[in-house]
Amino acid sequence: MSARRAQISPWAPFEDRRRARDEKKHAVLRMAARLFLDVGYHRATLNDVATRLNITKPALYNYFRSKEDILEECYRLGQQMVDEAIAAIDAEGGDGLTRLRKLIRAYAQLMTIDFGMCLVRLDDRELSEEAYRRVRAEKRQDDLAFRRYIEAGAADGSIVACDAKLAAFAIAGSLNWIGHWYRADGAYSADQIADHFANLLTTGLEAKSARARSPSGKNAQKTSTEPGNRSRKISP
């Protein structure tokens, strides 16, 4: 019995160790993101992050080179979620209005989670020059996705003719602001906000013909938590 035990390595299999390491790295990121949002990037120290995770500050350097490195990774994770949402919507297809509403819903929900909030509440000028340029380019791509769906909608008749650039800025601004005011213990759930904004921000853009195709609802501004709800009449 004791002979068999001696043959078992005190180290976990390599795969398990790698997974454990990835999980720990992610836990550092989550804690750092929360702290950056809570007290601001400048006031947050790696000591605070370590203390909250019951580890020492040197232990953090197993995972990241610096606070700036962590910040960059927070942006990367948030941006990855936006990219995935856009890729999924593009893959599903549909008219411009449908895709625009899906993006509004997905983006609104991202704004209620920490890595999404990091994209809009932290100052990207704290990043290295290289990371800053990459982050800015990615943000432009997000803006362009909104614009692309609006232009597609204007072309396929689901959205009225409009200045797509300004309309995209107006929508993105409303959504980014969620990252500033949303509270997990607040009056609205992420789903409610997503549904509400998908209605509110597209009611004025919807072409008459698209409205006629939708089953008419009692009131467009009432929140619906029904996923497929398409009732967006402007007034009762």
Helix-, strand-, coil-residue percentages of the chain, each rounded to 5: 65, 0, 30
Least Cβ distance, residue 149 to a copy of itself (angstroms): 15
Dig out the tokens for 75 from the structure: 């942006």
Site string for a copy of itself, 43-82 (x = CB under 8 A): x---------------------------------------
Does residue 133 bind a copy of itself (CB under 8 A)?
no
CA-CA distance, 90 to 175, in Å (whole number)? 20
| Choice from 141, 203, 214, 229 touching a copy of itself (CB under 8 A) | 203
Q: Are 142 and 172 in contact (CB under 8 A)?
A: yes
Does 17 contact a copy of itself by CB under 8 A? Answer: no
207 counts as binding a copy of itself under rule CB under 8 A: yes
Question: Hunting for tokens 């790295």 — which residue is that?
Answer: 25
Q: Residue 206 forms beta bridges with which residues?
A: 159
| Euclidean distance between CA atoms 113 and 134, whole angstroms | 22
Is residue 220 near a copy of itself by the rule CB under 8 A? yes
Residues that bind a copy of itself (CB under 8 A): 39-40, 42-43, 123, 125-126, 160-163, 165-167, 169-178, 180-181, 187-188, 193, 196-197, 200-208, 219-223, 234-236
